[in-house]
Amino acid sequence: MPESEPTAHCSYQGCSRDVHGDTGLCIFHAPADKKDPQEFRNALAKQIIDWRNAKATTWNFRGWVFVDGKNLKTTSLYRINRNTICSARLCFRLK
């Protein structure tokens, strides 16, 4: 049985997610033109669910490149109320 290659991890400092494609970065840190928008949205939705299930009080988006090509300059998002998570530039409404 052949030995499998070790999984490469994102080269962004402090990130341990698996590499996406040939970028050397995970889907969240990879340049916008190197990722499929729907794949990114699916990964983002899964990450938010994971944070919510873990009852995380801080959500780290440092260095993420969203599919519109914009970097989020803040390091984290904070719960505003039961249904809203915001930073200085972005809000998520939770259902």
Q: What tens-digit pLDDT sequence spans the chain (95 residues)? A: 455 565 789 999 989 999 999 999 999 999 988 989 889 888 988 898 898 888 887 778 888 888 865 555 544 555 555 566 665 556 666 55
Tell me what pLDDT residue 2 has. Answer: 55
Beta pairing partners, 46: none
Residue boundaries of the structural domains of the chain: 35-93
What predicted TM-score, i.e. pTM, was given to this entire model? Answer: 0.68
CB 60 within 8 Å of CB 47: no
Q: What is the torsion angle, in degrees rounded to the nearest 10, for the CA atoms of residue 35, residue 38, residue 43 and residue 48? A: 130
Containing 22, the helix (H) or strand (E) segment is none
Residue 23's alpha-carbon distances to 14, 26, 63, 71, in angstroms, are 16, 8, 15, 17
Question: At 20, which amino acid appears?
Answer: H
